[in-house]
Amino acid sequence: MKSSRRKFIQTASVLAAGSVLPLEALTSSRRPVSANDKVRVGLIGANGQGFSDLTSFLKNPEIECIAMCDIDRNVLNNRTDNLTKLGFPRPKLYVDYRKMLENKDIDVAIIGTPDHWHCLILVDSLEAGKHAYCEKPIGNSIAEINIMQKAVKKHGKIVQVGQWQRSQPHFVDAINYLRTGKLGRIRTCKAWSYVDWKGAVPKVPDSPVPEGVDYHMWLGPAPERPFNKNRFHFTFRWFWDYAGGLMTDWGVHLIDYILYGMDKAVPLSVMAIGGKYAFPDDAMETPDTMTTVYDFKDFTMIWEHTIGIGGGNYGRAHGMAYIGENGTLVLDRNGWEVIPEKQRIAALPVQKNVGVGLDLHVKNFLDCLKNNTPQKLNASIDIGRNVALVAQMGNIAYRTGEKVSWDSAKQQFATATANKFIVPEYHNGWVLPKY
């Protein structure tokens, strides 16, 4: 970014923390900003979370979206209509992200694609001189997440990972309580996601590629396959070629806070069991039911997920629990509370969520960009890499049926079976970056 444009106006503000604005209200929240103070963003992957990220960026008056890229022209047209109807300028549209990255006016790439694309696009964005906001999980394999970490360190750009709970005030308050030591020695932690709103993914036959979709570009480094709508758009996450199921979808958010609260990075070993217990004959490859046990030497962490059931631990469909000898701290996106063990400490009623986590996360990113302070990012590439590694270990333990352990010095597992999952095989002419 040019030096004159590093100087964001000090009075630039986002919407008040805690406010939730519909898309229609975005333009009214903005005010004029000089051209030199604008931050020009380009969105890659505009269908789901990527557009939510862009919406949050646009709540900041210095942001201008000058480019959008998606392999589905129907998505591009819909999103462009969303923006122009609100009075935003029409961005330049791309199907190939590499062409978008050639645009010298783009300061920040927002990466909201399926997981199997994250590594290539982030590395290419950095090499094109862009800062980046990259959705979680940062990669779809251990090799990819290590490459991404190395690339960020080499190029020195500001990169925020989309683990926005790191910026949510009540999550921070819960960790501050945890660190007072009032819970006593913590021997067990739990994280879970019980997804009752999702059911089976019925099998459907392969079909022609929809009009307006560059399916070859969508596949990218993934194996060549006929088009099947189950593997496209939202449901891509249930297939190993593109993602890691609930473990890397919800798990990355929730396990991250166990690692943060317990100040840990890599477990000694991981065991996992589960399968397609709810919908054994549907199209999903990833397990609909799974329990994973992580050994951190002085405590264990248990990850649980189910699809089709919403009654999770402590009456919460998702959350985390730090189980101490004096009490248990339970935390989810709605709030946190403390449940005493035999009245050894005082109970603490639910402390409710305050603030819009995604908006605050984007604001943290922009502040760090403005001040060139990568050390103040709430979800740096190191944070993204650590939890992605732990999630990948869980999936690899499940897929191999082995108890796996990671050697940080050698960057490999103890068994050849598990090591086969470290480096992905790239296809269709795409090459895994070398760092």
Task: Decide: 2 and 38 in contact? Cβ < 8 Å.
Answer: no
Does position 84 have pLDDT exceeding 70, yes or no? Answer: yes
Q: What pairs with residue 352 in β-bridges?
A: 335
Q: What is the mean pLDDT of residues 214-223?
A: 98
Burial code (b: 16+ CB inside 10 Å, e: under 16) for 154-168 equals ebebbbbbbbbbbbb
Query: How sure is the predictor about 30, in pLDDT bands with cuts at 50, 70 and 90?
Result: low
Q: What is the mean pLDDT of residues 330-355?
A: 96
Element (H, E) at 217: helix 215-219
Can you list the alpha helix ranges (DSSP code H) found in 284-425? 357-371, 381-400, 416-419
64: tokens are 């201008």
Element (H, E) at 307: strand 300-307
Q: Is the dihedral of CA 179, 338, 376, 69 positive or negative?
A: positive
Which amino acid type is present at position 8? F
Query: How sure is the predictor about 32, in pLDDT bands with cuts at 50, 70 and 90?
Result: confident
**CA-CA-CA-CA torsion for 285, 287, 293, 295, nearest 10 degrees?**
20
On the question of a common fold for 3-166+358-380 and 168-199+233-352+386-409, the answer reads no
pTM for this structure?
A: 0.93
Q: What is the mean pLDDT of residues 129-140?
A: 98
Instruction: Give the start-to-end residue ranges of the domains of the chain.
Output: 3-166+358-380, 168-199+233-352+386-409
Fold of 168-199+233-352+386-409: Dihydrodipicolinate Reductase; domain 2 (3.30.360)
Q: What is the mean pLDDT of residues 228-245?
A: 97
Average pLDDT value over all residues in the chain: 93
Query: How sure is the predictor about 3, in pLDDT bands with cuts at 50, 70 and 90?
Result: very low
Report the C-alpha gap between 124 and 110 in whole angstroms: 12
> CA dist 311 to 41, 194, 307, Å?
40, 7, 11
Over the stretch 139-163, which tens digit does the pLDDT of each residue have? 999 999 999 999 999 999 999 999 9
Does position 10 have pLDDT exceeding 60, yes or no? Answer: no
pLDDT, residue 23, reads 55
pLDDT, residue 252, reads 97
> CA dist 367 to 12, 14, 134, 270, Å?
10, 11, 16, 37
Over the stretch 357-383, which tens digit does the pLDDT of each residue have? 999 999 999 999 999 999 999 999 999
Query: How sure is the predictor about 339, in pLDDT bands with cuts at 50, 70 and 90?
Result: very high
Does position 1 have pLDDT exceeding 70, yes or no? Answer: no
> CA dist 237 to 79, 91, 147, Å?
22, 28, 22
Report the C-alpha gap between 173 and 368 in whole angstroms: 22
CA 179 remoteness from chain centre: 25
pLDDT, residue 36, reads 77
pLDDT, residue 253, reads 97
Does position 4 have pLDDT exceeding 60, yes or no? Answer: no
pLDDT, residue 290, reads 98
% pLDDT > 90, the chain: 90
Report the C-alpha gap between 362 and 56 in whole angstroms: 7
Task: Decide: 290 and 396 in contact? Cβ < 8 Å.
Answer: no
Q: What is the mean pLDDT of residues 94-113?
A: 98
Q: The domain 3-166+358-380: what is its CATH number?
A: 3.40.50.720
Report the C-alpha gap between 93 and 292 in whole angstroms: 42
